[in-house]
């Protein structure tokens, strides 16, 4: 009895220590790592505009913009942040505290879901991989106002409820599973590309191979998920007005064709290179997924669960390689689910890291013939520890020693030196959140040209956008994103403007 209590105390101490460490990873230097940038800045416009003007929209100097961040990330993110702004004021810390709560909830749910699927050892290893992997970059995405992590939370909850109904499916619980998955899609539209084919492929596999559940097990949650997404799109159409909605859908079509349906041979090679790189499970992803097929072969309900997860991973990775612009962020859900396969692989290979040291040393001294097996197990254990430990050190470095916070520095300068009503041309939307100046941004549709320039070898967006067409603005603020896509021609700036301040990647120009 005493030994049991001692073991239980040790387990509790370890759990408390792990919890404290995770809290440190989530909250320390929350506003300094990662630095706020284009995507997060544009998303933050929506809750700020909602609180300041009562309008669910983006905002530029010419007025409200209803396309872009309003549909890129769902109300499941925007509304909680707006509520916090209402209660505690507008600020980056307030917004990121909401995201930190989502991040903690996602880590907890992923652990419990992994435990439900594969047991406690798999849960610990899979969660450690999830938090540390540089291919997934959970901490970097999860600390920002982005849709990946909150969308993943709803997705995991939906799949968990769905799998839990595999023994005796109940219509109400299947609908709940579909609603949760639908909220994940609303939160991050990209997940629609992955989820709908997964439902369809899962239904087909069960029909022709597994044959362990009825078709309604797939049909009901699929209808509920698509229904939730359709309701949100319908609300946008009704609330924004038909003409605006038509413009939105046209812009969405162009953006989808430019980022999600590319089919470029060079980008396919780049995508494959990313998946085979060291940052993705130390280059072990593909071999482990091949091994993971063995989990899906049994014609049982547990085999169906792993088969559905493998289908989700396969659908996402095929789309990422074949049709996307090769940004590894687009493989986010597949890499997250792959953590489960990696954990199960190492559970099988290492025997839950239980190395028989006595047998190993005996084999090493020639007193046993088991050297090969023991050495293989030890090597796999060391490789797993490296797979978790190396990126963990990099994450700690990024969080403890963040780079200079240039966005905050330029925002402080502008608050102290630039009149609020002066017209400032920029394509750094984070500035529209950090300060209350009068910014003008290029049209949202120009983003497709920027994507084409960076990823598809197209012309720079400056060829389609003349920021001085309506007269030269008083100021131009060039930052990391606009420099990256070469939006503001240097020769025009040098001819008509004087650089008055520079910090980090930001350069502020004033009209001569």
Residue at 169 is within a domain: yes
Q: Do 169 and 202 belong to one domain?
A: yes
* CA–CA distance, 14 with 342 (Å, rounded to integer): 23
Residue at 66 is within a domain: no
Q: Do 282 and 311 belong to one domain?
A: yes
User: What would the two tokens of residue 56 be?
Assistant: 């669910």
Residue at 41 is within a domain: no
Residue whose pair of structure tokens reads 């209402």 in the numeric block: 86
Residue at 246 is within a domain: no
CA angle 370, 349, 286 (to 5 degrees): 130
Q: Is there a contact between 193 and 319 (Cβ–Cβ < 8 Å)?
A: yes
Q: Do 381 and 425 belong to one domain?
A: no
Q: Do 20 and 106 belong to one domain?
A: no
Q: Do 214 and 237 belong to one domain?
A: yes
Residue 4 belongs to what H/E stretch?
helix 2-27
Q: Is there a contact between 292 and 351 (Cβ–Cβ < 8 Å)?
A: no
Q: Count up the domains in the chain and report the number.
A: 4
pLDDT attached to residue 445: 84
How many Cβ atoms are within 10 Å of 134's Cβ, its own excluded?
20
Give the C-alpha distances (Å, rounded to integers) separating 285 from 107, 167, 198, 338, 488: 21, 31, 20, 8, 41
Residue at 6 is within a domain: yes
Q: Do 439 and 507 belong to one domain?
A: yes
Q: Do 153 and 7 belong to one domain?
A: no
Q: Do 281 and 338 belong to one domain?
A: yes
Q: Do 383 and 483 belong to one domain?
A: no
Q: Do 158 and 287 belong to one domain?
A: yes
Residue whose pair of structure tokens reads 């899906």 in the numeric block: 296
pTM: 0.94
Residue at 188 is within a domain: yes
Q: Do 287 and 158 belong to one domain?
A: yes
β-pairing verdict for 63-65 and 58-60: antiparallel
Residue at 35 is within a domain: no
Least Cα distance to 465 among 449, 483, 481 occurs for: 449
pLDDT attached to residue 1: 47
Q: Is 207 helix (H, G, I), strand (E, B) or coil?
A: helix
pLDDT along the chain (512 residues), means of 10: 63 90 97 96 96 94 85 93 98 98 98 97 97 97 97 98 94 97 95 95 96 96 96 81 65 60 86 96 96 96 97 97 91 98 94 67 58 72 94 96 97 97 97 97 89 86 92 97 95 96 97 95
Residue at 467 is within a domain: yes
Q: Is 418 helix (H, G, I), strand (E, B) or coil?
A: coil
Q: Do 308 and 388 belong to one domain?
A: no
Domain residues for the domain of 490 are 406-511
Domain stops at, among 369, 392, 415: 392
């Amino acid at each position: 009895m005493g030994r049991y209590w001692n073991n239980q105390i040790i387990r509790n101490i370890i759990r408390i220590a792990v919890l404290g460490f995770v809290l440190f990873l989530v909250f320390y230097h929350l506003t300094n790592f990662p630095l706020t940038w284009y995507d997060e800045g544009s998303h933050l416009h929506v809750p700020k505009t909602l609180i300041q003007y009562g309008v669910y929209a983006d905002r530029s100097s010419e007025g409200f913009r209803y396309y872009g961040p309003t549909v890129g990330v769902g109300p499941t993110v925007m509304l909680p942040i707006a509520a916090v702004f209402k209660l505690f004021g507008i600020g980056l810390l307030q917004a990121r505290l909401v995201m930190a709560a989502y991040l903690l909830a996602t880590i907890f749910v992923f652990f419990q879901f992994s435990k439900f699927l594969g047991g406690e050892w798999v849960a610990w290893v899979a969660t450690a991989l999830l938090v540390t992997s540089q291919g997934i970059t959970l901490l970097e995405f999860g600390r920002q106002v982005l849709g990946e992590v909150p969308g993943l939370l709803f997705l995991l909850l939906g799949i968990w409820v769905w799998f839990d109904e595999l023994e005796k499916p109940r219509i109400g619980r299947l609908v709940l599973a579909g609603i949760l998955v639908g909220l994940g899609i609303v939160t991050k539209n990209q997940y629609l590309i992955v989820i709908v084919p997964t439902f369809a492929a899962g239904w087909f596999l069960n029909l022709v191979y597994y044959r362990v559940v009825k078709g309604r097990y797939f049909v009901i949650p699929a209808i509920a998920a698509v229904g939730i997404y359709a309701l949100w799109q319908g609300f946008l159409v009704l609330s924004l007005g038909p003409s605006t909605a038509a413009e939105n859908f046209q812009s969405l079509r162009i953006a989808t064709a430019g980022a999600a349906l590319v089919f470029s041979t060079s980008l396919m090679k780049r995508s494959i290179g990313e998946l085979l790189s060291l940052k993705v499970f130390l280059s072990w992803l593909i071999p482990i997924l091949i091994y993971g097929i063995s989990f899906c072969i049994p014609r049982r309900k547990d085999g169906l669960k792993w088969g559905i997860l493998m289908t989700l991973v396969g659908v996402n990775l095929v789309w990422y390689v074949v049709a996307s612009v090769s940004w590894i962020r687009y493989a986010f859900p597949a890499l997250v689910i792959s953590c489960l396969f990696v954990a199960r692989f190492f559970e099988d290979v290492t025997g839950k890291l239980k190395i028989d040291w006595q047998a190993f040393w005996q084999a090493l001294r020639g007193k046993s013939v088991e050297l090969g097996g023991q050495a293989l197990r030890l090597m796999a254990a060391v490789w797993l520890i490296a797979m978790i430990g190396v990126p963990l050190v990099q994450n700690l470095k990024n969080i403890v020693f963040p780079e200079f916070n240039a966005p905050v520095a330029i925002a402080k300068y502008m608050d102290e030196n630039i009149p609020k009503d002066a017209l400032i041309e920029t394509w750094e939307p984070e500035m529209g959140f950090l300060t209350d100046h009068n910014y003008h941004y290029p049209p949202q549709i120009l983003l497709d040209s920027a994507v084409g320039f960076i990823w598809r070898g197209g012309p720079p967006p400056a060829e389609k956008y003349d920021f001085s067409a309506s007269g030269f603005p008083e100021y131009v603020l060039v930052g990391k994103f606009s420099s990256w896509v070469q939006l503001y021609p240097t020769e025009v700036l040098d001819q008509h403007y004087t650089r008055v301040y520079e910090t980090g990647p930001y350069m502020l120009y004033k009209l001569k």
